[in-house]
Structure 1
Amino acid sequence: MNVFDTLTERGYIKQTTHEEEIKELLEKEKVTFYIGFDPTADSLHVGHFIAIMFMSHMQKAGHRPIALVGGGTVMVGDPSGKTDMRKMMTKEEIDSNVNKIKGQLSRFIDFSDDKAILDNNANWLLGLNYVDFLRDVGVHFSVNRMLSAECFKQRLEKGLSFLEFNYMLMQGYDFLVLNQKYNCTMQLGGDDQWSNMIAGMELIRRKERKPAFAMTCTLLTNSEGKKMGKTEKGALWLDPEKTSPYDFYQYWRNIADADVEKCLSLLTFLPMDEVRRLSSLEGAEINQAKKVLAYEVTTLVHGEEKAKEAEGATEALFGAGKNLDNVPTVEIEKENLGDTLINVLTAAKIFPSKKECRRLIEQGGLKLNDEKIVDVEFLLTEENFKDGIAMIQKGKKKHFKIVVK
């Protein structure tokens, strides 16, 4: 099966510039393509993971990916999908983020023996002569057409800085440079990048008189059209220090029934026959499909050992198991005993603020050792610990083990 058919069947492809030409090209040639990742944070999140899977399917089919880290473009900031201008970052912050993201990408893509390329657009963007750049590249861009692009139209109402207005030119130039350096003929990316991708493709066709193509993948949204990957703590990060493997596993274990098939298709390598079989389960049986999803995605991101630990912790709390070794654990000092439960849980980072902890208690959503806490002034004492352990249930799904140092 042509990889284009595979990507279509699994629901990746959203838009293409030249569908028949792309399909024929992917069938007959080894294509070098790229996807860009701007280092706006020190970790990629699950929104990036769908692009990584897109890239991985292409590599498995024999095509060569370029993972482009945007150390240059991030200094300008992509206005796509944003209502306000991004926070300006220092060069030190950007360099640190670039190094961490490079490490993460290497876990998913095989860069050995020239099977893939890792590059940073800071290598060519930061040394540009601006006047030369405008004369060489800017002349090919129509301001009227740029303003009609969705990524700019949304921002015009609140104000679009000239700094951000340059982003499309820079991303288009990236494609041109990669075409010249590596014979990269195709750009892949999220559907919110469509206008920027078209700009790069057209720039190559005008300047190099060569074919170039663009193909977008669907964004990871739930059945209601809202972006997936948001938790009460923020984004669902791929870095285990920012989102623990247990919390990562739990997110997929608890998604809506209607989102199971889409997530199995996009975020795992399970054969589509198995995806359809699992997705067709109904009632309580759909939980089996969610278990498979959570295990498969956690294995891809964190490795099989961490996936098994998260699975074991979940079974310990919700199944017949009794082993609590893998339940997320927080340690408190002995001198914390006698303080209010709100103060202890906030200091232990189980809650981001006392206000949020108090609100959950008032709503009846906090349990200590399976007993609902109703008093916001409840004091945590040694009597609450059995064999040195106290169990906290936060809402319906979150569990923590508290131990005294």
Structure 2
Amino acid sequence: MTTHVLDDLEARGLVAHSTDRDALRADLSAGPVTYYVGFDPTAPSLHMGNLLQLLTARRLQLAGHRPLILVGGSTGLIGDPRDVGERTMNSRETVADWVERIRAQVEQYVSFEGDNAARVVNNLDWTKDVNVIDFLRDIGKHFPVNRMLDRQVVASRLESGISYTEFSYVLLQSMDYLELYRRYGTSLQTGGSDQWGNITAGVELVRRAEGAKVHALSTPLITKADGTKFGKSTGGALWLDPEMLSPYAFYQTWIQAEDTKVVEYLRQFTFLDLEEIDAIAVESAEKPGLRIAQRRLAAEVTAMVHGHDEVRAAEQASAALFGRAELVDLPTATLRAALSEAGLVSVPAGTTIVDALTAAGLVDSKSAARRAVKEGGAYVNNVRVEDPDETVDRHTLDGGLVVLRKGKKSVAGAEVERA
């Protein structure tokens, strides 16, 4: 018996809110539904939270429904209001560049073939020629100001101040739903729970303007065990662009997932069957030291975002840093990324091993470094060091890199400066 897509989303913990659940279930069962999810180009790359939305869109498409992926060329010029304060507006040229970057990213997660082929749309196409009088008459008249003031983010900003620009953002986003309903018959919008107010405002606009009933569904915010979130505003964004976060660092973030969250992430971020995830959870609980669930999670998600080659490179790099694989077999970019995660320092040519160990923070002092060498606990490129005064120059790998290790688990890197 095939599982209803809504049941699967719920079982994976992917439904935080929805409008009339029974009506949504009936419409999803009746035939293909056209749905959309939107992304504002407020940065040059999407991140972990956006990835969850893309994978949710893919799940709905695999169930036979038609996705529209909206990249907000107009809403990105404004920016959704945040609790922390007013956004800095980016130039039109910057936003246009980010639109194209994000368009290229989203295209790898949905299929553009078949009867329910995806389509990427840009809301600048239907807003750029709208004049202010028509906007106020046709859109603004449907938005009671008292309802807008009740929105949580607006209420939190009233004392510190919020511009009319950000205050009006909800009108632009709601207009997207109305326009996509008119153009494509779109009847479902998905998004993160932090967007629930904007999403339901769009539902209401379609009802007021067209007398039609449409749906909304939001996914929960992804948090760590302590409740804090991953996000670009917190400085912990898990970027999808390999130039902003190396595939190795991306892999390492997932493999470091907390035991209390890793099974939840497996359900939400992978397409593994729920039965297989349950089996992984049992095996992982029986052998916690092997981090079975984390390794599977890291491999699955990294492969989706960066490809299987990067998974193999990340696994090889992790092994090589601790002497379980050959360092010389690693691509320089992968080794550099791995050492950057471990801690990479720059040292001048002629630096002794003692000084390098100290500079890298593997020991507290030069005397401690000498003691580590004497006791056989210091390694350069996974080879035990015997002479503490030997220079690191003769050990450099491609790119002037040197792998330093103290004991079995403490690893760092040094990059020898070229004269």
**TM-score, structure 2 as length reference:** 0.82
Paired letter, 1:120: N
Residue-by-residue CA offset, 1:170-223 (whole Å, 9 max, x unaligned): 011000000001100111000001111111101111111111111101111122
Q: How does 1:119-268 map to 2 (within 5 A)?
A: 119-228=121-230, 234-268=236-270
Against the structure 1 CA distance between its residues 18 and 400, is the aligned structure 2 distance closer, same or farther, given a 3 Å change threshold?
A: farther
Contact 1:310–1:326 (Cα < 8 Å) also in 2: no
Against the structure 1 CA distance between its residues 329 and 318, is the aligned structure 2 distance closer, same or farther, given a 3 Å change threshold?
A: closer
Residue 273 of structure 1 is matched in structure 2 by: 275
Residue 391 of structure 1 is matched in structure 2 by: 403
Residue 321 of structure 2 is matched in structure 1 by: 317
Residue 8 of structure 2 is matched in structure 1 by: 6
Residue 354 of structure 1 is matched in structure 2 by: none
Shift of 1:276: 1.6
Q: Any idea what SS the aligned residue of 2:329 has?
A: coil
Residue 340 of structure 2 is matched in structure 1 by: none
The worse-fitting range, judged by mean Cα deviation, of 227-236 and 94-103 is 227-236
Residue 108 of structure 1 is matched in structure 2 by: 109
Against the structure 1 CA distance between its residues 323 and 33, is the aligned structure 2 distance closer, same or farther, given a 3 Å change threshold?
A: same
Superposition RMSD on alpha carbons, in Å?
Answer: 3.5
How far apart are the structure 2 equivalents of 1:385 and 1:277? 49
Residue-by-residue CA offset, 1:338-385 (whole Å, 9 max, x unaligned): 5799xx9xxxxxxxxxxxx98967979xx999759xxxxxxxx98114
Against the structure 1 CA distance between its residues 320 and 186, is the aligned structure 2 distance closer, same or farther, given a 3 Å change threshold?
A: same
Q: Any idea what SS the aligned residue of 2:107 has?
A: helix
Q: Any idea what SS the aligned residue of 2:391 has?
A: helix
Against the structure 1 CA distance between its residues 37 and 358, is the aligned structure 2 distance closer, same or farther, given a 3 Å change threshold?
A: farther
Paired letter, 2:307: G
How far apart are the structure 2 equivalents of 1:13 and 1:44? 21
Residue 58 of structure 1 is matched in structure 2 by: 60
Paired letter, 1:89: N
Shift of 1:315: 2.2
How far apart are the structure 2 equivalents of 1:41 and 1:315? 34
Aligned residues: percent identity?
Answer: 37
Residue 378 of structure 1 is matched in structure 2 by: none
Residue 376 of structure 1 is matched in structure 2 by: none
How far apart are the structure 1 equivalents of 2:224 and 2:63? 28
Contact 1:70–1:122 (Cα < 8 Å) also in 2: yes
Against the structure 1 CA distance between its residues 335 and 20, is the aligned structure 2 distance closer, same or farther, given a 3 Å change threshold?
A: closer
How far apart are the structure 2 equivalents of 1:294 and 1:211? 40
Shift of 1:270: 0.9
Contact 1:35–1:67 (Cα < 8 Å) also in 2: yes
Shift of 1:401: 6.9
How far apart are the structure 2 equivalents of 1:176 and 1:118? 17
How far apart are the structure 2 equivalents of 1:136 and 1:96? 30
Q: Does 1:298 align with 2:302?
A: yes
Contact 1:313–1:323 (Cα < 8 Å) also in 2: yes
Shift of 1:132: 1.1
How far apart are the structure 2 equivalents of 1:152 and 1:310? 43
Name the count of aligned residue pairs: 383
How far apart are the structure 1 equivalents of 2:183 and 2:137? 21
Against the structure 1 CA distance between its residues 44 and 397, is the aligned structure 2 distance closer, same or farther, given a 3 Å change threshold?
A: farther
Contact 2:362–2:411 (Cα < 8 Å) also in 1: no
Against the structure 1 CA distance between its residues 180 and 233, is the aligned structure 2 distance closer, same or farther, given a 3 Å change threshold?
A: closer
**TM-score, structure 1 as length reference:** 0.85
Contact 2:38–2:70 (Cα < 8 Å) also in 1: yes
Residue 89 of structure 2 is matched in structure 1 by: 88
How far apart are the structure 2 equivalents of 1:339 and 1:312? 28
